[in-house]
Amino acid sequence: MRKKVTVIGAGNVGASCAVRLADKGLADIVVVDILEGVPTGKALDILQSCPIQGVDVNCVGGNDYEATANSDIVIVTAGFPRKPGMSRDDLLWANYDIVKSTVEQAVKYSPNAILIVVTNPLDAMCHVAYKVSGFPKNRVMGMAGILDTTRFRTFVAQELNVSMKDVTALVLGGHGDTMVPLVRYSSVGGIPLTDLLDQETLDRIVKRTRDGGAEIVRYLKTGSAYYAPSAATVEMVDAILNDRKRVLPCSAYLEGEYGISGLFVGVPVKLGAQGIEKIYELKLTEEELAALHKSAAAVRELVEVMRPKLEAAATA
Ligand code: APR
């Protein structure tokens, strides 16, 4: 039987995820949105691309969750994107309600699914999904690290005029201004990045990576990035559905790793059929660890703001 993936939100990120899933023939796809007609129309359009792509998957869209029943994976992209001048954190309250209600409905129909959260502010929204779903921590995760890393890899490949494929990198921390690109763990065809680029260039690339989302928002004006975010999300889906045991940076619930507890933060994980099968704890320098803790503190601030509402929801 084919696997099934639900995409909540038929906007830019959601629809791009659905297209990429269909193109790869990874699973049957159900797209859900509150807008009338839009998820149905987009899903039908995607379905009609399948003969050309040579893939046999079904793709349907609608407003209710019945069609999503027994999904293997639920991707949450519903919510507002940021506009120029906004930080991801500015979306907190607008997206809290959306993530809470969509996850509540989705998990009723798919109690064994793995949740991949994409809605921002990412790490805080993972927390909402985790609390609302009551799922074990291996089945709730956020897409951010792969996106931040692919931006870093792109800029490095451009700088050195080498294949994008040969650049590996690692970005830790929350998906925000405090993310921690780990230059020490980055390489090009196995050659440490620090042997190839001087400090000034590295600093410039790190800064551009950190501002990577905002750079695109400034160009688009009415929304945020979706092509790279959807590619990153589908890489996670592929790792899980095919039990690839990929080692990728994802937002994961930490319980003491890196000295952080009770928070979703971006860390390297092993991604397979069980979801997050392992969290890797790297030996960080004092400086790197301090930067990671600073990033975690920014996530904690948002979680503390939400806590009264989350606790009230949990006892309701
Ligand atoms: N249920 C289902 N869908 C909803 C709900 C809801 N309660 N509320 C909003 N949506 C839908 C909107 O109707 C819209 O189609 O979510 C979609 C969001 O699409 P876009 O506005 O195009 O936003 P997008 O660029 O896809 O970003 C979505 O992902 O990367 C993050 O920061 C980004 O938080 C944002 C999210």
Would you state the pLDDT for residue 85?
84
Would you state the pLDDT for residue 103?
98
* CA distance between the termini of the chain: 38
Pairing, β 187-188 against β 167-168: antiparallel
Instruction: Give 213 Cα–ligand 1 centroid separation in angstroms.
Output: 16
Residue-range domain boundaries for the chain: 4-142, 145-304
Give me the tens of pLDDT residue by residue for the chain, a chain 316 residues long.
899 999 999 999 999 999 999 999 999 999 999 999 999 999 999 999 999 999 999 999 999 999 999 999 999 999 998 888 888 888 999 999 999 999 999 999 999 999 999 999 999 999 999 999 999 999 999 999 999 999 999 999 999 999 999 999 999 998 888 889 899 999 999 999 999 999 999 999 999 999 999 999 999 999 999 999 999 999 999 999 999 999 999 999 999 999 999 999 999 999 999 999 999 999 999 999 999 999 999 999 999 999 988 888 776 6
Would you state the pLDDT for residue 101?
97
Which of 89, 224, 227 has most ligand 1 atoms within 8 Å of its beta carbon, as the pocket-test mutant?
A: 224
Q: Which two tokens stand for residue 243?
A: 């039990």
293 counts as catalytic: no
Q: What CATH number should be reported for the domain whose range is 4-142?
A: 3.40.50.720
Residue 225 alpha carbon, nearest atom of ligand 1: 25
Q: Which two tokens stand for residue 21?
A: 């899933």
Q: Are 127 and 107 in contact (CB under 8 A)?
A: no
Instruction: Give 34 Cα–ligand 1 centroid separation in angstroms.
Output: 10
CATH topology match: 4-142 vs 145-304 = no
Would you state the pLDDT for residue 269?
98
Is any atom of ligand 1 closer than 6 Å to the C-beta of 61? no
For ligand 1, atom 2: residue with the closest CA: 33
Is any atom of ligand 1 closer than 6 Å to the C-beta of 78? yes
Dist. CA 294–CA 102, nearest whole Å: 30
| Fold of the 145-304 domain | L-2-Hydroxyisocaproate Dehydrogenase; Chain A, domain 2 (3.90.110)
